[in-house]
Structure 1
Amino acid sequence: MKPVADSKELMKGAMILTLAALVTKILSAVYRVPFQNIVGDIGFYIYQQVYPFFGIVMVLSTYGFPVVISKLYTEQQAAGNRGRADRLLAISLMFLGMIGVLLFLFFYFGAAWIAAQIGDPELSLLFKVVSIPFLLFPVTSVFRGYFQGKGNMVPTAVSQVSEQFVRVATILTLAAVIVQQGHSLYAAGAGAVFGSVTGGLVSILILGFFYLKNGAGNPFRNFSAKDWWGDTAWVVKALVIQGFAISISGMLLILLQLADSLNMYASLLKMGLSAEEAKSAKGIFDRGQPLIQLGTVVATSMSLSLVPAISGDKSRNRIEGILPKVRLALQTSLIFGAAAAVGLSSIIVPANIMLFQNGDGSNVLGVLSLMILFGSVILTITSILQGLDKFIFPAAVILSGFIMKYVLNLALIPDVGTMGAAYATLAAMLVTMLILIKKLRGVLGQPVLSLAFIVKVLFSAAVMSAFLKLFLYITNFSYGYIEPDRLAAVLQAFSGVALGAFVFFFVLVKTKALTEDELMTLPFGSRIVQLFFR
């Protein structure tokens, strides 16, 4: 393998990683529906209390450190510093290994303390299990960084998808078996968390196979005490500053879930709920996570595919080519984010029944669904800023949003319950989005989207929402004629999605939010033009 120099190869590699990320994110969202059906709301609460900590490991080993290692490795290879490139891998493995061991020790031996701080001592077993992936992430991070630095994205893509498949299979299999055998829901939760271990081990085996197949050799062969002192400082500095900045920027949804894991259960208890009621309420609230994640993935996967091209224009100083791509990326995320957020919020009752067997908490989930719009725009702007070499600012803003969410939870949940948590999430995301929009405008020196375009998109979403409310009101009779109710909900939800999408794009076209040529640049744009223009 040779270092990547050709822009077409860069785009090809970026698309491979984008497709792999899309598959893994869809799997990560979809498996939670059958898992909740197996373990119920309380079992879902148990798993979701620990999931954000594993989610942090996934981001570190997938988006954060591999990106930095690959960038540094490519630079050293291009400069002809083969020995320094090898030492980069060795130092990265040792440094990340130290971090991994420290985190493992903290979560394993501090499991009882962490569970007590959250307010549920029975979670200690799950925290012991989730400590193990911290020992695995240094190896996967360095392997992926190495292959990406070589321009070979296939090992990273295969390892990501395989890891997620094995993890999901382990979660669903162990949860079903443990529940069927009559063990506690906490045991089922621990079995589900164990999926992160099996998935991580499979990923390492696949990456190791590719490494040996390519005859890369031992990165420690060019390693000495003198080299250690000469290279450690710049490698560690890059990993700490850039690695953690990129990682935090990719943790938006995970950090919001982490805030809920840390203080929602205890706040619900302060509200006066019993332990079982609080666990059930948190589990119902967590039903929104797969819906939000899937909606955000759909809305952003189309816009984020443009980011590598933006980075390419920046690296070649083609400033005039950046603005049109940034505008298209934001237009795409806003259009599909608004459609997904408002559409899901409008049909949340049948969607809730269809996926989770009943309509409990639909009012809260309806509010929470609006996260999709804010999240889509935030993730798109964050990726654009990273493509323009702005790493620190978006990470700092997202971290501040997490703090805001944590504090608002404490203030709102004791008064209005899980609805307070939903309001806290939307407030934190709205502030984060506005700050990032202002930053992007400052970097580019001009606004990207016109106010008229934004108003037309929101108006189209409002018309769609009104139509869907009327549609549900008319078709609610089906629950009395179609048995079971879940089948009626399936028919209502899917027909609502199709009709809502039609209405949204019909209004979008008729208000001339986009010209025919601009519509053609959108995903499925040719279909939209054929349907509404011709």
Structure 2
Amino acid sequence: MGEAMYSTKSANQSKALFRGAFILTIAAIVVKILSAFYRIPFQNIVGDIGFYIYQQVYPIYGIAIVLSTTGFPVVISKLYAEQREKGNVDKSRLLLFTSFIYLQLFGFICFLILYFGADIIALWMNDPHLTVLLRVVSIVYLTFPFVSLLRGYYQGIGDMVPTALSQVGEQTIRVLTILLLSYLFMQKGYSLYLVGGGAMFGSITGSMVSSIILFMFLWIRKEWKWIAPSRGMFRTFAVEIKEIFKALTFQGLMICLSGMLLIFIQLADSLNLYSLLTINGMEKGMAKSLKGIFDRGQPLIQLGTVAATSLSLTLVPLITRERLSEKQSNLTDKVQLALKVSIVIGLGASAGLWAIIRPTNIMLFENDLGSTELGILGFVILFTSIILTIIAIMQGLGRLVFPALAVTVSFPIKYGLNMLLVPWCGTKGAAISTIITLAFVTVVLLLKLKKMFSARLASFRSIANVLWATTAMVVFLKGYIWGTDIFMDDFHLERIGAAMQSLSAVFFGGIIFLVIILRGGVFLEQELTLFPLGSRLIHFLARRDRDKHGEKN
């Protein structure tokens, strides 16, 4: 009877874990989609130079978002759950209060560096007018500790709803603030730097709303008594305080660094792309415009990465479960499948975007300027999807340091390659340096993952079929765009015509790619059943694969 009760409790905990992971995954996808989509109307409102101004400062805000969303809340939730499981009420309170002090100190130091060093950073970017924007965004570092702590607390007690609502609420209010203020300021004829400051103010309103949502949960549920510190706890638990500081510094920062891949790439471009263009003789207005055009790639990359990683990352909880159950063969299968999904969707999205980049550029940003550079940047989706999948796998297996180091090294590599390639071929050089950097990080992580698993990570047959599906899709899309160009020119549809071309091309190209992938046997029937709507896709499998699975059953 005791074993049955234990089994039931374990099953309930497992269900709660997966339900919580599902809620956070959905919230993360919604946040990323909002984060990608708002940039399109924003660029349409402020133009390429206005977009350049905003994107120069955005990576600084992006770092704060990672700190408050991934690293620190994850570590706090893990430590709090452990103390709660042991029934250590005083130590769990100590953890929360010590974490709050640590994060406040960390955030205050970041604020001081950014606020008082804003003019130095702006000069590094070769644009002193960015000082005000940097000081505006520095305020976010004063609010993120409170948000991180409460998200960690709620995740630690297994309640993911407050975290999910705070993330979605923060991003929604931030996006609305950006679009509303930028539109109003442009209507009033304010300078583009003031418009950019108004857009950056959205980061403050968003973080305030996130804090209010989390505070409301505390207030309504009257949970202050569970997190308030007890008298004299610092004298009693001096050793434990050191351990908490060590865990937050080591584990928290490692997870944070692992989540900053694209932010580091954008930060390198913010610090030296514009300055390299102007140093090499380009007029400042032209350089700002070219950097803004180059930054059009960010929403495309984000949307593509969300699509490419959302399926593969759903397998990570399964990988963690297989590791805990010590079933090495099942664990290897799940790792192989996660990698396969990231490669298939990543390559399909990258190559498809490259094939239709010109009409897509016109549809979203009014003209086709920078289409060559944006086409190159599209392959960021492939490498990023593989990298993020491997990092999630390694973290699920308890490896934190290596992925953090691999991501961190991307910044100096990208910065150095910019210095080498931008003077030679401008923003195209920046796009190439991004691809080289991400390709290097991908290879390093794959080699490390290969050492962790003796089995082959991908079969030659699968890779050959993926390449064949990609080639067929690209050939079709290029022919489709060429053929419909003639029709669009006759009717002078321009942006509407580009939208019709792009959306229809995505639909037809996606079907061709998917059918060839499924008919080519890249995925087995039992693999497809692990994904949403996977049972519907089984009907597209070649008969021999369906029969083979039927014989096994």
Match of 1:305 among 301, 314, 319: 314
Match of 1:411 among 420, 438, 453: 420
The 1:4/1:42 distance shift into structure 2, 3 A limit, reads farther
In 1, Cα distance between the equivalents of 2:270 and 2:379?
A: 20
Q: 5 Å matches for 1:393-472?
A: 393-472=402-481
After TM superposition, give the deviation of residue 460 of structure 1 in Å: 1.2
In 1, Cα distance between the equivalents of 2:232 and 2:220?
A: 23
Counterpart residue type for residue 100 of structure 2: L
In 2, Cα distance between the equivalents of 1:365 and 1:222?
A: 58
After TM superposition, give the deviation of residue 309 of structure 1 in Å: 2.1
| 2:85 equivalent to 1:92 | no
Equivalent residue number for residue 482 of structure 1: 491
Query: What TM-score do you get using the length of structure 2 for normalisation?
Result: 0.93
The 1:56/1:439 distance shift into structure 2, 3 A limit, reads same
Equivalent residue number for residue 388 of structure 1: 397
Equivalent residue number for residue 212 of structure 1: 219
Equivalent residue number for residue 338 of structure 1: 347
The 1:52/1:96 distance shift into structure 2, 3 A limit, reads same
| 2:212 equivalent to 1:199 | no
Moved more, 155-164 or 74-83: 74-83
Equivalent residue number for residue 338 of structure 2: 329
Match of 1:234 among 238, 243, 262: 243
Counterpart residue type for residue 502 of structure 1: I
After TM superposition, give the deviation of residue 338 of structure 1 in Å: 1.1
> Once the two structures are superposed, what CA deviation does each residue of 1:337-379 show, in whole Å capped at 9, x if it has no partner?
1111111111000000000000000010001001101100100
* Secondary structure in structure 1 of the residue aligned to 2:457: coil
Match of 1:15 among 10, 22, 37: 22
Match of 2:197 among 171, 186, 190: 190
Equivalent residue number for residue 527 of structure 1: 536
Contact 1:457–1:513, Cα closer than 8 Å, also in 2 = yes
Counterpart residue type for residue 229 of structure 1: A
> Once the two structures are superposed, what CA deviation does each residue of 1:309-328 show, in whole Å capped at 9, x if it has no partner?
22223234343432222222
After TM superposition, give the deviation of residue 5 of structure 1 in Å: 6.9
> Once the two structures are superposed, what CA deviation does each residue of 1:197-219 show, in whole Å capped at 9, x if it has no partner?
00000101110111222322242
| 2:85 equivalent to 1:58 | no
Equivalent residue number for residue 87 of structure 2: 80
After TM superposition, give the deviation of residue 533 of structure 1 in Å: 5.0
| 2:269 equivalent to 1:260 | yes
Contact 1:4–1:150, Cα closer than 8 Å, also in 2 = no
After TM superposition, give the deviation of residue 270 of structure 1 in Å: 2.3
* Secondary structure in structure 2 of the residue aligned to 1:43: helix
After TM superposition, give the deviation of residue 142 of structure 1 in Å: 0.5
In 2, Cα distance between the equivalents of 1:45 and 1:137?
A: 26
| Alignment length (residue pairs) | 533
Contact 2:234–2:241, Cα closer than 8 Å, also in 1 = no
- Structure 1 gaps, min length 5: none
In 2, Cα distance between the equivalents of 1:85 and 1:99?
A: 21
Contact 1:4–1:10, Cα closer than 8 Å, also in 2 = no
Counterpart residue type for residue 89 of structure 1: L
Moved more, 266-275 or 198-207: 266-275
Contact 1:441–1:448, Cα closer than 8 Å, also in 2 = yes
The 1:380/1:477 distance shift into structure 2, 3 A limit, reads same
After TM superposition, give the deviation of residue 439 of structure 1 in Å: 1.1
In 2, Cα distance between the equivalents of 1:495 and 1:271?
A: 41
Contact 1:171–1:191, Cα closer than 8 Å, also in 2 = yes
Identical counterparts, % of pairs? 47
After TM superposition, give the deviation of residue 184 of structure 1 in Å: 0.4
Counterpart residue type for residue 282 of structure 2: L
* Secondary structure in structure 1 of the residue aligned to 2:229: helix
Equivalent residue number for residue 114 of structure 2: 107
> Once the two structures are superposed, what CA deviation does each residue of 1:235-278 show, in whole Å capped at 9, x if it has no partner?
11111111111111111111111110011001111232110011
Counterpart residue type for residue 60 of structure 2: F
After TM superposition, give the deviation of residue 388 of structure 1 in Å: 0.2
> Once the two structures are superposed, what CA deviation does each residue of 1:447-471 show, in whole Å capped at 9, x if it has no partner?
2211321222122112211111111
After TM superposition, give the deviation of residue 73 of structure 1 in Å: 0.5
In 1, Cα distance between the equivalents of 2:261 and 2:168?
A: 21
Counterpart residue type for residue 475 of structure 1: T
Equivalent residue number for residue 174 of structure 1: 181
Q: 5 Å matches for 1:4-43?
A: 6-43=13-50
After TM superposition, give the deviation of residue 505 of structure 1 in Å: 1.9
In 1, Cα distance between the equivalents of 2:413 and 2:301?
A: 20
In 2, Cα distance between the equivalents of 1:7 and 1:390?
A: 22
In 2, Cα distance between the equivalents of 1:365 and 1:258?
A: 18
After TM superposition, give the deviation of residue 520 of structure 1 in Å: 4.4
Equivalent residue number for residue 5 of structure 2: none
> Once the two structures are superposed, what CA deviation does each residue of 1:423-480 show, in whole Å capped at 9, x if it has no partner?
1110111111111111112112222211321222122112211111111111111332
| 2:153 equivalent to 1:160 | no
The 1:416/1:338 distance shift into structure 2, 3 A limit, reads same
After TM superposition, give the deviation of residue 531 of structure 1 in Å: 4.6
| 2:288 equivalent to 1:282 | no
* Secondary structure in structure 1 of the residue aligned to 2:521: coil
Moved more, 310-319 or 203-212: 310-319
Contact 2:520–2:542, Cα closer than 8 Å, also in 1 = no
Equivalent residue number for residue 513 of structure 2: 504
Counterpart residue type for residue 304 of structure 1: L
> Once the two structures are superposed, what CA deviation does each residue of 1:23-55 show, in whole Å capped at 9, x if it has no partner?
000000000000000000000000000000000
In 1, Cα distance between the equivalents of 2:468 and 2:531?
A: 19
> Once the two structures are superposed, what CA deviation does each residue of 1:475-519 show, in whole Å capped at 9, x if it has no partner?
111332334400000110011101111221232234333344444
After TM superposition, give the deviation of residue 532 of structure 1 in Å: 6.1
In 2, Cα distance between the equivalents of 1:328 and 1:343?
A: 22
Query: What TM-score do you get using the length of structure 1 for normalisation?
Result: 0.97
Moved more, 267-276 or 352-361: 267-276
Contact 2:173–2:206, Cα closer than 8 Å, also in 1 = yes
Counterpart residue type for residue 125 of structure 1: V
- Structure 2 gaps, min length 5: 1-8, 544-553
Contact 1:60–1:141, Cα closer than 8 Å, also in 2 = yes
* Secondary structure in structure 1 of the residue aligned to 2:369: coil
Counterpart residue type for residue 149 of structure 1: G
In 2, Cα distance between the equivalents of 1:85 and 1:3?
A: 23
In 2, Cα distance between the equivalents of 1:365 and 1:480?
A: 23
In 1, Cα distance between the equivalents of 2:528 and 2:159?
A: 34
After TM superposition, give the deviation of residue 523 of structure 1 in Å: 4.5
Match of 1:317 among 297, 315, 326: 326
Contact 1:3–1:151, Cα closer than 8 Å, also in 2 = no
